[in-house]
Amino acid sequence: MKTSTTTETPPPARPTAEIALSVRNLSTTFRTDNGLATAVSNVSFDLFKGEALGIVGESGCGKSVTAKSIMRLLPEHITSYGENSEVMLGSENLLKYSRSDMHDVRGDRIGMIFQEPMTALNPVFTIGWQIDEALKLHTKLDRRQRRVRGIEMLKMVDMPNAERRYDEYPHQLSGGMRQRVLIAIALACEPEVLIADEPTTALDVTIQAQILKLMSDLRERTGTAILLITHDLGVVAQTCDRVVVMYAGQVVETAPVHDLFHDPAHPYTKALLESIPRSGSKQKGKRLPTISGLVPGLFEMPEACRFAERCAGRQDKCVQIMPEVDWFTKDRCVRCHFPVNEGA
């Protein structure tokens, strides 16, 4: 099964020494009963060493499929990638790796924090056993050394009573503690890249803040590059250096956090930012703006701009021609015929 062979303008070249993970023209297609469905289309971005990069967008825009494609966690019998797709970790394309080779990469060079800690952790094994599993697979430490390392990891993620928690089961821990365990497992082998897929969605606001601060502190301490998948722009503002905005399986904008929040280039990004509640008297008693319409379905993707039907500023060209990705600075790109940012 093959997907589209088209490619798009990649991000400007950077020294490879700066790049932890490079994604180029990633297209992910599923075989379904109704035919082929492309969930991710020609996605390109770079994640630099020591950086936190956010991927944001509505539910169903392809964020999690992008993350799982990078990790090769999708069912291989129904999944294919574009012929020109690349996920480069160093000089190696992970999309060319065998299943056994990917086992060596996951948990070692790339760690992942999943969305729901109660389902990500195995309920019949202790916390210590699950941390030990990664260490046993990817290190040469003996059993005693692995236990010491596991408890050290729990302490690193600020787990109270780490020695006792090490021998407990997931159901004995709170949601915040379970999420800390997932972070400890993901970081146990000191990965180059950490992918966090909606890591705070199931947590209350206070615990969310603690987990986000913990991730930021660990990034500063270990130098691990973080790819944060989220729909929460507040989380992005608090945690990330740069942002990739996705819509209907495509990247529509990439920018540094400050630039994106203060001067968005794509109409979709602008609409997302306008829908965020803000404090102050100006919004008191007023309804928040909404984006009319719905995201097109996988089998209903238009040949032209995918956001055109929902865009208040659309013109004839928008419904006739697919806009290309335009890199107007080394850190900023937009996929739009008529960007709202004049600099674009």
Taking 60 as the threshold, does the pLDDT of residue 3 lie above it? no
The residue written with tokens 């915040």 in the block is 176
The residue written with tokens 């966090």 in the block is 196
8 Å CB contact between 225 and 194: yes
Phi and psi, residue 164, nearest 5° = -75, -40
Domains belonging to the chain, first-starting first, are 16-247 (3.40.50.300)
Percent of the chain with pLDDT over 70: 96
Handedness of CA 245, 219, 187, 201 (dihedral sign): negative
| pLDDT in the model for residue 284 | 64
pLDDT tens digits, 228-271: 999 889 899 989 999 999 999 999 999 999 999 999 999 999 99
8 Å CB contact between 110 and 89: yes
Nearest to 178 by CA among 194, 196, 199, 148: 199
Strands (E), the chain: 19-32, 35-48, 52-56, 79-81, 86-89, 92-93, 110-113, 193-197, 225-229, 242-247, 250-256, 325-329, 332-335
8 Å CB contact between 54 and 196: no
Mean pLDDT in the chain?
91
Taking 90 as the threshold, does the pLDDT of residue 110 lie above it? yes
Taking 50 as the threshold, does the pLDDT of residue 2 lie above it? no
pLDDT tens digits, 140-194: 999 999 999 999 999 999 899 999 999 999 999 998 899 999 999 999 998 999 9
8 Å CB contact between 221 and 97: no
Query: Distance (Å, rounded) from C-alpha 99 to C-alpha 323?
Result: 36
Taking 80 as the threshold, does the pLDDT of residue 203 lie above it? no
